Amino acid sequence: MNTLYQSSSHNDGLSVLKRDPLIEILFCYYKCNTKFRMRCIVILKNINFDQDIIFRSLLCSLGSAITLSIFTLLFLVDLSYFSFLGVAIYSLIYFFIYLIIASPIQFKLNQKPKKFNIIYLIIYGLGSAIVTAIIAKFFGYENLFISSTFYTITILSALTFWLFDSVFLQSKTL
């Protein structure tokens, strides 16, 4: 069994119980002890970020962003905004949201890859609902849960990301 996931205790009494390596890194940096910093270096060496996975994740985010921006401009916003510039602006916004919010979830789910898994769709849907609600509140929408636009954006963003994720990233050969 990997030592990162075994129960152990440190000199300060902090016990490590089945932590994720990235959470372990946060705990290591929280403690300003050289011993903990050295453990962080060991953990980082054990985490393998494959460049192919990162590239396919970027492709997934970009494809999802372009698809969602086209759906948004065609069906949810005035058609006069539908142009190359409109698609580019919406795609850029959606791309950064996918990159910041959905990609870490995607990396976590890719540890046990499954194509077209409904549980993954539900997880992406919950994340999408939370992000859409936060953005809607930021722009001053009061009753967003009675808005059909809220549900449409939530479902479309989760569905497009899930489809692109299943096609580009969730493969059994990884």
Give the closest residue to 104 by CA, choosing from 49, 141, 67. 49
Distance of CA 65 to CAs 56, 60, 172, Å? 14, 8, 25
What is the C-alpha separation between 154 and 5, in angstroms, rounded?
35
Q: What percent of the chain has pLDDT over 90?
A: 30
CA distance 123 to 97: 16
Mind listing the pLDDT tens digit for each residue in 62-109? 999 999 999 988 888 877 778 888 899 999 999 999 989 888 888 888
Q: Which of 90-94, 111-115, 120-124, 168-172 has the lowest mean pLDDT?
A: 168-172
Quick one: pLDDT at residue 106? 87
Q: Residue 130: which of 95, 105, 113, 160 has the closest Cα? A: 105
> Does residue 6 surpass a pLDDT of 60?
no
Per-domain residue ranges for the chain? 3-46, 51-168
Closest alpha carbon to 85 in 67, 75, 73, 76: 73
Distance of CA 62 to the CA centre of its chain: 13
Which of 46-50, 98-102, 114-118 shows the lowest mean pLDDT across its residues? 46-50
Closest CA to 108 of 16, 20, 7, 29: 20
Least confident of 50-54, 55-59, 108-112, 170-174: 170-174
Residue 47 pLDDT class (50, 70, 90 cuts): low
Secondary structure (DSSP) of the chain: --GGGS-EE-TTS-EE-S--HHHHHHHHHHS--HHHHHHHHHHHHH----HHHHHHHHHHHHHHHHHHHHHIIIIIS-GGG-SHHHHHHHHHHHHHHIIIIIHHHHHHHTTS--TT-HHHHHHHHHHHHHHHHHHHHHTT-S-GGG-HHHHHHHHHHHHHHHHHHHHHT--TT-
